[in-house]
Amino acid sequence: MKLTVHVDGGSRGNPGPAAAGAVASDADGEVVGERGEMIGTATNNVAEYRAVLLGAALALELGATEVELVNDSELIAYQLGGKYKVKHAEMKPLYAEAIDLLGRFESWSIRCVRREQNEHADLLVNQTLDAGAL
């Protein structure tokens, strides 16, 4: 089964309070699962990686054998796709964890879209951040 998972991470302050969000959809575009998670104090890029991890874990829990990740971070998409190297020491373990987790799928891909095309995941991040601020 293939799922498309929109993922987003955000930080208020960079670094600051951060959250990750993931929204999984089936082949018909129906949302089959979503998750938001506070991740403590982090940078935007760390939050974006944590969103990839959250989305991949959600897809596995839902029984996906194939996953297409959709995000709005060109840096993360290009690093995971092999186009860019991971140079920042704090992101290297997150990259390795993501590659390991994605290796559990029969196939996976990641693509970057404009923020407006990742609205549901972005909304989930902001709702999670707002709830964590209470």
pLDDT in tens, 19-70: 999 999 999 999 999 999 999 999 999 999 999 999 999 999 999 999 999 9
User: How many angstroms separate the CA atoms of 52 and 57, rounded?
Assistant: 8
CB-facing half-sphere around the CA of 67: CA atoms within 13 A = 31
The pLDDT value given to residue 61: 98
Look at residues 33, 85, 27, 40 and name the one whose alpha carbon lies nearest to residue 60: 33
User: How many angstroms separate the CA atoms of 33 and 93, rounded?
Assistant: 26
55 touches 98 (CB < 8 A) = no
The pLDDT value given to residue 134: 55
Ranges of each domain in the chain: 2-132
Q: What is the pLDDT of residues 85-101, one digit of tens each?
A: 999 998 999 999 999 99
**pTM, to two decimals:** 0.96
Residues 6 or more apart whose CB falls under 8 angstroms from that of 1 comprise 26, 63, 64, 65, 66
Structurally, what CATH architecture does the domain formed by 2-132 represent? 2-Layer Sandwich (3.30)
